[in-house]
Amino acid sequence: MNTRQEALAYGLSFPDTYQEAPFHDPNWQLVRVKGSKKAFLWTYERDGFINLNVKVSPAWRDFWRDAFASVIPGWHQNKDNWNTIILDGTVPDDAIRNMIADSYAIVTDSPTRRIYEAVKKIPKGKVATYAQVAELAGNKKMCRAVGNALHKNPDPSTIPCYRVVNAKGELSGAFAFGGPGEQANRLMADGIEVISGKVDLKKYAVEIIDGEITNG
């Protein structure tokens, strides 16, 4: 990957992205995420080479800088959170793609998105408690955030929030999931027994080890 066009094309291959030149200077071309409008890929020419600025986690920041001389602290950006990749032919394509992909993942990450992704992992025939969903989403302490996110579920057809119950196995109230009994109906359609508005967690709850479901 030696050209701006290749870098921009790869950045634009990620979902919900768009290209922008915000400084009225064609030398600066950015790829942003729709909605948040956050940039995860900056491209510009400097000293005869195309440079890419990418966001980086502290765990990988120094690894990439140590691995390649042409990966340096972010130019004109926070050097703790950004790296600059100089496209001089010395950094392998797969490494460049990995760094761009990591930048996109960092910029698009949010607790709500992680909660929805966690709920998607609950398999048919199983349930998870709010605390278990919080653990799957990476933070055991955000049970309240789980409840808030599920009540605002933007896509019930792919995010099966009806598979989430409280710590006692009790179902949500009548306001959720389309009306009285709807959560129970959906759980029973999954093959889960519901008795007096409650699910037997010993029988139907997922098991989680190291942040992953082990009995799906």
Question: Could you read off the pLDDT of 95-119 as tens digits, one per residue?
Answer: 999 999 999 988 987 888 889 989 9
Instruction: Give yes or no: residues 55 and 69 share one domain.
Output: yes
pLDDT mean across residues, the chain: 91
Assess if residue 215 is contained within a domain: no
Q: Over 70: is that where the pLDDT of 176 sits?
A: no
E strand or H helix at 2, and its extent? Answer: none
Backbone angles phi, psi at 50, to 5 degrees: -75, 130
CA angle 158, 162, 165 (to 5 degrees): 135
74 C-beta neighbours (distance < 10 Å), count: 20
Q: Over 90: is that where the pLDDT of 211 sits?
A: no
In the chain, % of residues over pLDDT 90: 69
Q: Among candidates 7, 39, 5, 12, which has minimal Cα distance to 23?
A: 39
Instruction: Give yes or no: residues 69 and 115 share one domain.
Output: no
Instruction: Give yes or no: residues 12 and 93 share one domain.
Output: yes
E strand or H helix at 22, and its extent? Answer: none
What's the mean pLDDT in 170-189? 81
Q: Over 70: is that where the pLDDT of 67 sits?
A: yes
Q: For tokens 């790869």, what's the residue?
A: 10
Assess if residue 216 is contained within a domain: no
E strand map for 35-162: 39-46, 49-55, 71-73, 82-86, 128-129
Q: Over 80: is that where the pLDDT of 11 sits?
A: yes
Please give the pLDDT value at position 83: 97
C-alpha 97/C-alpha 184 separation (Å) is 45
Which amino acid, one-letter code, is at 80?
D
Q: Over 80: is that where the pLDDT of 177 sits?
A: no
Domain boundary residue, one of 40, 73, 108: 108
pTM: 0.59
C-alpha 208/C-alpha 186 separation (Å) is 23
C-alpha 101/C-alpha 113 separation (Å) is 17
For the domain that residue 65 is a member of, what is the CATH number?
A: 3.90.1150.30
Identify the domain containing residue 117 by its residue range.
Answer: 111-210
C-alpha 146/C-alpha 143 separation (Å) is 5
